[in-house]
Amino acid sequence: MSSLISHYPLLFLRLFFQISSLLLQLHFLQSDFRLPNLIDFLLTHGAWRVNIVLQQFSPPKSTNLARIKIFSFKDLWLFILGIIFVSVTSGSIGAFMLGVGAEEFFLGESENIIVVTQPGITTPFTGQVPLSLQQDIQKIRGVLTISPETLGLSVAQNLADKSVVVRGVTFNFTSLVSTQVIRGSWFDPRFGHSSKTVINGAMVGYILADNLGLSVGDTLQLACTLDETVIEVVITGILRSDSPSDEELIVSLSLGQTMTGKSTGFVSFLQVLIDTNVISKEDVSEHLTQEYLVPISLSTDDPELKSTFQDIPIIAYTPYGQHVKTQYIESGNITFFHLRFGTYEFVASPPSTGQSNVLRVFVNQFFYTPFVISIGSTFHDLAIKVLHNSNLAFNATVNVIERFSNQGIYSGRTNESGVVFFPNVPDKAYNLAVYYQNLSYYSLYHVTQSTLVSINIDSSFSLVVRNYTAGLEINGGNFTILLPNGTQIYHTANYLSNTSIYLEPGPYRVIYKYSSYLHAFNISIEGLIRRTIILGADELHLWIRNSQQNGVSANISVRWPNNTIISQLTDTNGTSVFVLNVGLNYSIIISLIDNQSKIHTRVVTFTNFLSLVIDFYDEYKLNIRVRNGTSFDPHTNGLDESYLEIRDNESLVAFGLTNSTGDVQFSFPDPGNYSISVSKDIFSWNGYVLVYNQTTHIDINLGKVRVTLLTQSVSSSPINNIEVSVADSSGQLFTLLTNRSGMAEFIVPIGNYTIELTTLGFSSLHIQNLTESQILWLNITIELSGDLYLTFENQFYQNLDLAFVVLRNDFYNTEIKVFTDTAGEIRLLGIPWGNYSLVVTHNEEIYPKQLISFVDHESEILIRIDTNGPILTSGKYAFWQDSSFSVVWSSEFVSGFLSSTLSLITTTLTTIVIIVSVLSLLSIASVISHPIVANERTIITFQYLGANRQQITFSLVLQLATLGFIASLSGSILGMWGMTILPNFQHINIGGVIISPRVDFWLVMAILFSNLIVIVVKASQKVNEIYSKHLPEKILG
């Protein structure tokens, strides 16, 4: 089962590293590595010629110092070992965090499984691996099984748009992953534990099933994240595999390709199971990544064509027609392709004769003998004989299509003998497509000689189209089958159910269109099978009638969510039928044929079979009552003499005054959307009303309270989501949230009110005696705040979904009560800084109170609950009782707090080190520019092997810095190597918290850099002391 990496080792390693680095840096800055011995070390590396100039004498006296062998390496062992220790630690932690921070999803890799995916991708969702690579890798000795898979994200539209990870697999998946069917069965018998095939079936992991409340037989309407495709799948079973699949939806590979937007020739990745006793993972990896040399040459019987070889492009394709590389013949009638492992098809395209024959090469080694592509004007006679279940097929259509170009070259029908004859066909490769009755056949054929090709169409493969929602077969519609490269091999304008279509084994794309319904999916033919296409659509019946309840002629337009509009006319009875996708919202616009001014609009959420009756009347009445504020008593009289205007697109349609009860009635010849304006005394109201019934009643309430909030200390901009409550003298309460403009508008009866404003972490604000229609501007100073993200999990690193959490801030006297989502997460936006205590209730058990501290603009805190630990009480929710709780500090929080504190200290120390290094270098520069004055009478100058003092200084600093750099580099290499022997951490649950410690990684690099700076600083200080103090003392005794 997929789980997050254990946080405890990560935190302890991080703390250990930071503390060690901090202590070492402080030691480097403060220690003195026995400077006299260091000088002796420098003196032993060559003879110094020292010139002592006595000011009162001349010429100068020269003294040569012999080498004094008194240096011992142990004097520097702490210095060097310290560098190596810090480097190894930083390299190890850096490599560890870098691997975690990459956010790679666990694909099932183990010691005998290799995951093959596209180079350069960050997640397997975006991988594009040719499916043909599966057959090629299978040829490698030691490869046992290959599981081609897709991985994608979808949104379950009928489950509150919750995210679902969808994995598309073949039956080889069960050879790599041990699965147990808990309930139901697989959607394909080849997986085992199943007796029927459901092409839109899916298995759901037991964890995902529990999180989403799914059972066998439920349907999911999945919107793919990479395109606008919406697929309806039916749950056929629930499985357990103790792998990431427990939190995923498992579908067939063809359905997974459709949902990830991949063509039939590509998958997200391949999982390769190998026999490690025969071949190692490294050898397989070398096979797949090595570029091999493939020489290609041309031949022809045409002398004129031969002279143009260097102008003929030679193109390499994948088996699915994807262009790989184009090259031209070089000198010696040969060109060289550098290609990776796999199968390729080579084609030469001379301008005069068109495409050559196709050369197919399996590239798995270096080739030294050229492959030859024949080009020429050779023609052959091609005869094709078509059989249907071994019987002659009369009047079958045969198309001969040029390979790669997909241009139809020849077409004809078979005679009584089932034969069609094509004379003078060029020597090339062709796709043969045969259509007979409701059957279709497709194959690839190379024409190299005159021949008779026999094709036998078997009826054993069939597709049955069913409407899943209604459970009825659909007879009709357009049905098309395409090859992966887009070549159409089958099409019918009147598709009938139970049509048999023969297809050679391989991948195909099926497109079915019935009325306004469009469904496209991928299939992979691996044998003689029967499949059922499940379509998530149903019928919408509309009946348009007049006031006499007779059907009328109307034009009906249905606008889909993607703004596609489908229109049709009603029949003589005023009825019309649309086939729509289930679970979507549609706008229906109806206009009468004999009266274009009468238009109805209706918004429909289509869930299943629906019959709507739309009435058009000769006259439409609108009854309006203008009320005094908001009154919940329907018998209360309204406001008299209120003035109203009704407009249609700014044109005045009607106007009038309300009577003594506040009522007024208007009549219209046509339905439609009208604007209304109402005014009385100082009050006014504007709005819209949709008139489509014979009589429409609406109530309008006069009187508004507008509240605008402005932040002052943070952004001086309006605040949204502030809860505003307005209460009258009787205690009746009206509550709204402010919008993005910081406004909340209320329609209330005339009178005085109390306004209460509350938000997370703030005390309430009370404004007394607010009169009706007053506009109030409230200036509120916001304390420092930020966004807090909490994640809750148990001791097994499983998310605590739908846990009830109560947070309390005693300073603001505020309680926050909220549920975790299915990922165990809570997002609190814009809450003030401070200390919060919290209590968690999960599965009706209440756990001890914990304390968290929030002092950042954005913070993520993981809270782990020990479900086997102390339980305070049992109940549905945890409500606050201060006296019954004890403070329990989370070890995660303590570790995180210490880690953050050490990070701050380390960063500050790094800054100090950089400043000190700059000052030290400036000091050295000052020393170098002047002679050293040993005393009042003596000036010392010196040389080292003829070099000047600047070169000496630079050499010393460079040597010590290089020593540190080599040690750091060696330590990093050791650290990276050490990471290879660590166990593979299997993660990440996409619905949970994803650790992204890239900041920590760069902090590690900053600390390593600061250590190198320390090395330079110490070296500079040593040189400074050598020049200014110790060397003169040594020379002068």
H helical segments located in 553-604: none
Looking at the domain covering 379-457, what would its CATH class be?
mainly beta
Per residue in 771-830, pLDDT (tens digit) is: 544 455 555 554 556 778 888 888 777 888 878 888 887 766 677 777 788 788 888 876
Mean per-residue pLDDT, 991-1010: 41
Q: Out of 11-15, 584-588, 930-934, which region has the weakest mean confidence (pLDDT)? A: 930-934
Identity of residue 1000: D
Residue appearing with tokens 């993981």: 862
d(CA 218, CA 236): 8
- Give the count of beta carbons closer than 10 Å to the beta carbon of residue 981: 6
pLDDT score at 246: 87
Looking at the domain covering 462-527, what would its CATH class be?
mainly beta
d(CA 975, CA 214): 46
pLDDT score at 385: 87
Given the DSSP bridges, would you call strands 143-156 and 129-130 parallel, antiparallel or unpaired?
unpaired
Q: Where are the domains of the chain?
A: 23-102+919-1036, 113-275, 302-374, 379-457, 462-527, 547-615, 620-693, 704-772, 785-898
Band of residue 68 on the pLDDT scale cut at 50, 70, 90: very low
Query: Is the pLDDT at 155 greater than 60, yes or no?
Result: yes
Per residue in 315-348, pLDDT (tens digit) is: 888 876 777 888 888 766 788 898 888 888 888 8
The partner residues of 436 in beta bridges, in order of sequence, read 439
Residue from 784, 755, 786 nearest 771 by CA: 755
Q: Out of 355-359, 379-383, 873-877, which region has the weakest mean confidence (pLDDT)? A: 873-877
Which of the following CATH numbers is that of domain 620-693: 1.20.1050.10, 1.10.3720.10, 2.60.40.10, 3.40.50.10800? 2.60.40.10
Is pLDDT larger for residue 825 or for residue 70?
825
Contact between residue 805 and residue 835 where contact means Cβ atoms under 8 Å apart: no
Helix axes 7-30, 77-101, angle to 10 degrees: 150
Band of residue 205 on the pLDDT scale cut at 50, 70, 90: very high
pLDDT score at 767: 54
pLDDT score at 514: 59
pLDDT above 70: percentage of residues in the chain:
49
Which of the following CATH numbers is that of domain 785-898: 3.40.630.30, 2.60.40.1180, 2.60.40.10, 3.10.180.10? 2.60.40.10
Kindly provide the residue ranges of all beta strands, DSSP E only, lying in 493-574, ordered along the sequence.
Answer: 499-500, 506-514, 517-525, 530-535, 537-545, 554-559, 565-569
Band of residue 583 on the pLDDT scale cut at 50, 70, 90: low
Query: Is the pLDDT at 559 greater than 90, yes or no?
Result: no
Q: Out of 286-290, 845-849, 1020-1024, which region has the weakest mean confidence (pLDDT)? A: 1020-1024
Is pLDDT larger for residue 566 or for residue 962?
566
d(CA 433, CA 406): 12
Query: Is the pLDDT at 531 greater than 70, yes or no?
Result: no
Chain centroid to Cα 366, Å, comes to: 39
Domain 620-693 matches domain 785-898 at the CATH topology level: yes
pLDDT score at 824: 85
Chain centroid to Cα 42, Å, comes to: 59
- Give the count of beta carbons closer than 10 Å to the beta carbon of residue 102: 11
Per residue in 86-143, pLDDT (tens digit) is: 544 544 444 344 333 332 333 334 678 888 877 656 566 677 888 878 888 888 888 8
Mean per-residue pLDDT, 540-555: 84
CA count, 13 A, side-chain hemisphere, 1017:
23
Chain centroid to Cα 905, Å, comes to: 36
CA count, 13 A, side-chain hemisphere, 863:
30
Give the chain's mean pLDDT: 65
pLDDT score at 35: 35
Q: Out of 255-259, 788-792, 855-859, 910-914, which region has the weakest mean confidence (pLDDT)? A: 910-914
Number of helices and strands (H, E) in the chain?
Answer: 13, 67
Mean per-residue pLDDT, 843-863: 74
Cβ-based burial of 578 (10 A; exposed 0-12, middle 13-18, buried ≥19): buried
pLDDT score at 698: 81
Band of residue 71 on the pLDDT scale cut at 50, 70, 90: very low
Contact between residue 1016 and residue 919 where contact means Cβ atoms under 8 Å apart: no
DSSP 286: H
pLDDT score at 1014: 58
Contact between residue 683 and residue 702 where contact means Cβ atoms under 8 Å apart: yes
Sheet containing strand 785-794, strands side by side: 825-832, 785-794, 858-865
Query: Is the pLDDT at 461 greater than 60, yes or no?
Result: no
Contact between residue 407 and residue 369 where contact means Cβ atoms under 8 Å apart: no
pLDDT score at 271: 86
Stretch (H or E) spanning 25: helix 7-30
d(CA 169, CA 171): 7
- Give the count of beta carbons closer than 10 Å to the beta carbon of residue 867: 15
Per residue in 215-240, pLDDT (tens digit) is: 888 888 787 765 556 677 888 899 98
Band of residue 204 on the pLDDT scale cut at 50, 70, 90: very high
Q: Which CATH superfamily is domain 704-772 in?
A: Carboxypeptidase-like, regulatory domain (2.60.40.1120)
pLDDT above 90: percentage of residues in the chain:
1
- Give the count of beta carbons closer than 10 Å to the beta carbon of residue 877: 13
H helical segments located in 943-997: 949-980
DSSP string, 672-714: EEEEEEEEETTEEEEEEEEE-SSEEEEEEEE-EEEEEEEE-SS
> Which two tokens mark 252?
């067939």
Stretch (H or E) spanning 173: helix 173-176
d(CA 1012, CA 505): 62
Band of residue 382 on the pLDDT scale cut at 50, 70, 90: confident
pLDDT score at 250: 92
